[in-house]
Structure 1
Amino acid sequence: MSGTVGRSPAAGDPGRVLLSRGYLRLLPLSLCLGVPIALASFFFVGLQHWLQHQVWQELPHALGFGRAPWWWPLPALTPAGLILAPVVTRLPGAGGHVPVHGLGGDPIGPRALPGVALAAVLTLPLGVTLGPEAPLMAVGSALALLGVRALRRHPADPASVAVVATAGSTAAISTILGGPVVAAIMVVEAAGLAGPRLAVLLLPCLTASGAGALVFTGFGHWTGLSIGALALPTVPPNTVPDAGDFLWGLPAAALIAVLVSAAHGLGEHTHRWTSARGTAVRTVACAMAVGVCLTAYALLTGRSPEEAALSGQATLGRLAENPHGWSVLALVALVGCKALAWGVSLGSLRGGPIFPAVLIGAATGLACAGLPGLGATPAFALGITAATTVVTGQPLTSCVLAVLLLGRDAYNQMPLIVLAAVTALLVSRLRGHRRSAPTPADA
């Protein structure tokens, strides 16, 4: 996203830009684009969620299994690699941004849209440990640029096109982040803008995402289709954090930052390995390695491999509903296997980096809740916040997302949420600084 929002049209006086004829035309254009982008996003994510249900629930039941058996990820992830390899090596756009690079980068153009859609719809439901947010943003930006091309005979200036592409991405991702507020704040933090320049970029994004979220929500109620948005149907019991929660909570946030940063580092190594040579073969090998990690979780815990597979939205909801339903050893296995699978996926497969990190953080927090004085609800809240802060580098977005997820429980947890975000950001930046520091030989 940062590559898109960095090119706002506020090259001159922002106050004049807001009242200029060209900018005022962007607002109704963003409103018009938000509606079809939301409809396309709805069917895009709905189809992906339906295929996921077929692969991990209906098909095992049809074969006589009560749930996906321990070996299920191996035959599921291998086809994912075989499908993705030609998309990455042969189709325009290489299936979208590499997830280890975050949600940033240049907007995805219409030419790359087929590859992005194929990679997301045909591989994510097979168990790839990535979320739908990055492909959804790519689809939103591509559709927005396609709409601009269809509505205008002459090409618009590059700055306006960049704002429209950002508005399209924001409209798409707001549909799975609980509404336009989190998506808009994400744009703000990614842009690094303030004052009048902020409104120049934010108004089209809010317009498109607000219209899109309204259509998306209404269409979901009308059709009854589930799209697997990041939400908690049941939140943990509400408790007020005390001194023990802060005493243990901040070191737990630092631990989560180290774990998520380490998994992200694995993704960087994986990306260098897959892009060096033999990309197609190594992409398939990485998909199979993800399957091995998920199989290891099932063998270590005796639980379903589905809990460690996919984006983690369903497992996050189960953790929130029954935070004591997992033993500490099961949570440790979930964190370890999920983090390894996520790290490999970050550098080789295609999808979004945020949703699995949220599960890793929440599971780590609940594993630490066995410490004397640290409650399950504060541990769950700080885990979500710390992990999201590390993977996005945006503490304000992470805090708002945690608050929206926790709902009525968020009021009491907000001090710990804020401090967990600060702690996680500082620890992750310190680790990154140490990794990039020159060695004596370099000096």
Structure 2
Amino acid sequence: MTSAEPSPGAEDPTPDGAPAAREVLHRPGYRRLLLLCLLLGVLIALASFFFVSLQHGVQRGVWEALPEAVGYDRAPWWWPMPALLLAGLIAAPIITRLPGGGGHLPVNGLGGPSLGPEALPGVVVSALTTLPLGVVLGPEAPLMALGSGLALLAARAMRQAPDSQAGKLLGAAGSTAAISTILGGPVTAAVLVVEGAGFGGSRLVMLLLPCLLTSAAGAVVFTGFGHWTGLSIGALTLPELPPNVLPDAGDFLWGVPASALIAVLVAGARSLGRRTARATREHTAVRTVGVALAVGGCLTAYALLTGRNPEEAALSGQKTLAQLAGHPGTWSIAALVALVACKGLAWSLCLGALRGGPIFPATLLGAAVGIACSGLPGLGTTPGLALGIAAGATVITGLPLSSSVLTVLLLGSDAHEQMPLIVTASVVAFVTAQLLPQRDTGDRTGAARP
């Protein structure tokens, strides 16, 4: 024989030099890590459930129960000013004094330096006290920080001090378990991991397996607790949609420039957020309060201009997105333009000074632009909604595949016909955003000075 046959257990080396998946799976340490991730998925889901339930309960109290208690049928036009002032006064000491500064600076996206367990108090207090007061950010970033911190804390408590690589894996798995609860399941969270990891092959498989386990276990527990307790969690869902129409040539002809327009608007808001971040590096406490007041002014302006509830422009936009999707005919073009202008400005200010997630408001802004454009001849309401959500999410995340999957899951049974348009919108928005001039702040940490 001129060459020896490989033994049954042998594995060819991977192109990137990483161990093959079969080899890693035979390691007892990795299998123990998978079991740990499965258990962590349950624990993190429970923590996430009560976290978002409490946040949603406080939000309803601030914007619905309290106005009714003082004699209003809804929040009056001036309501955002004291609410956001209070949010700024709470956020300022958290950002400048507590470890971790209350979480990542949202203008930098969902990524950033890993936050350890010592940052958990600031993240939790900031999210539960400032987001319900009307800060125009979502709960996804605090949830990811909560999941990552709890995973590392649990490993320490079990005397399983992870090394650097295992610690990163546990942190990623914990973040995925937490974010899957608010995004409606493990699929979108898993795709976020795949697209955001930046590598493939066996390394991706080894990262993806723990994340899938934690997110799947977490989703089961999270859903079960929701049905059992009856508590509202305010997850990103669209219970009602406009009548579904198969996209035609007109939808694509209008959809391409509409997606590019959304990319320009969202990228412009992000650019303003970066300028806000630079401005608040010095005298952070005072300027944070000032930014919060400016956000309140934007929300008040929306209520005065439209005569509508200021809550529509406040908060993460989950509730407003559902209302917009279910009853688009109740919104005039002028109201949609005011929503995009006022909420977009408020969101850009929050991106650079406060704490929370950037994705949910971006999906609402994109949807509002898409539905406004559906008044054009040839562009349907459902296609406008679909392309708007996809384009808005793509620009702020920089992940077109994840944004497409998120849009498909939101649209549910209506997504099948809209898939080509959704993918087209994501690609057009991504390319447009990449071609726009970009200026980096040079500060990815969100470091603040009193």
- TM-score, normalised by the number of residues in structure 1: 0.94
Partner of 1:332: 337
Checking the alignment, whether the CA contact within 8 Å between 2:294 and 2:346 is kept in structure 1 is yes
1:280 aligns with 2:273: no
The amino acid that maps onto 2:186 is P
2:376 aligned to which of 371, 378, 381: 371
Structure 1: 4+ residue segments shifted above 6 A: none
Question: What is the aligned partner in structure 1 of residue 76 from structure 2?
Answer: 69
Residues 1:101 and 2:119 aligned together: no
Alpha-carbon distance in 2 for matches of 1:329, 1:95: 36
Residue by residue over 1:368-422, the C-alpha shift from the partner in whole angstroms, topping out at 9 and shown as x without a partner, is 1111111110000000000000000000101111000001110110110010000
Give 1:159 shift. 0.2
Matched with 1:415 is 420
Distance 1:215 1:355 in 2: 23
1:256 maps to 2:245: no
**Which of 202, 206, 212 in structure 1 is aligned with 2:218?**
212
Aligned-partner Cα distance in 1 for 2:115–2:24: 26
Partner of 1:241: 247
CA separation in 1, counterparts of 2:234 and 2:115? 24
Match of 1:186 among 174, 185, 192: 192
Choose the corresponding residue for 1:404, options 401, 409, 429: 409
Q: TM-score, normalised by structure 2?
A: 0.93
Q: How far apart are residue 192 of structure 1 and its match? A: 1.8
Whole-angstrom distance in 2 between the partners of 1:109 and 1:192: 23
- Who is 2:272 aligned against? 266
The Cα of 1:107 is off from its aligned counterpart by 2.1
Residues 235-272 of structure 1 deviation map (CA, whole Å, 9 limit, x = unaligned): 22110111111111110000000000000001100001
Distance 1:363 1:291 in 2: 20
What is the SS of the residue equivalent to 1:174?
A: helix
CA deviation map 1:110-139 (0-9, x unaligned): 111000001000000000000000000000
C-alpha deviation, 1:11, in angstroms: 7.5
- For the pair shown, the structure with the greater C-alpha radius of gyration is 2
**For 1:100 and 1:83, how far apart are their aligned partners in 2?**
20
Distance 1:314 1:156 in 2: 40
* 1:25 shift after superposition: 1.2
Structure 2 distance, partners of 1:63, 1:11, is 66
- Which amino acid in 2 is paired with 1:288? L
Q: Note the alpha carbon deviations across 1:332-356, whole angstroms, 9 max, x for none.
A: 0000101100000000000000000
Structure 2 partner of 1:4:
none
The aligned amino acid for 1:226 is: S
CA distance in 2 between counterparts of 1:29 and 1:231 reads 30
Give the Cα–Cα distance (whole angstroms) in 2 for the partners of residues 378 and 407 of structure 1: 14
Q: Does 1:358 align with 2:363?
A: yes
Which runs of 5 or more structure 1 residues have no equivalent in the other structure? 1-9, 437-443
Q: Which amino acid aligns with 2:74?
A: R
Instruction: Specify the SS of the correspondent of 1:156.
Output: coil
Confirm whether residue 295 of structure 1 aligns to residue 333 of structure 2. no
Kept in 2, the 8 Å contact 1:95–1:119? The answer is: yes
* Amino acid in structure 2 at the alignment position of 1:371: L
Amino acid at match of 2:232: S
Distance 2:317 2:70 in 1: 24
Matches within 5 A, 1:31-46: 31-46=38-53
Contact 2:85 2:292 (C-alpha < 8 Å) held by counterparts: yes
Count of aligned pairs = 424
Determine if contact 1:236/1:320 at 8 Å carries over to the other structure. yes
Tell me, yes or no, if the aligned pair for 1:235 and 1:407 is still in contact at 8 Å: no
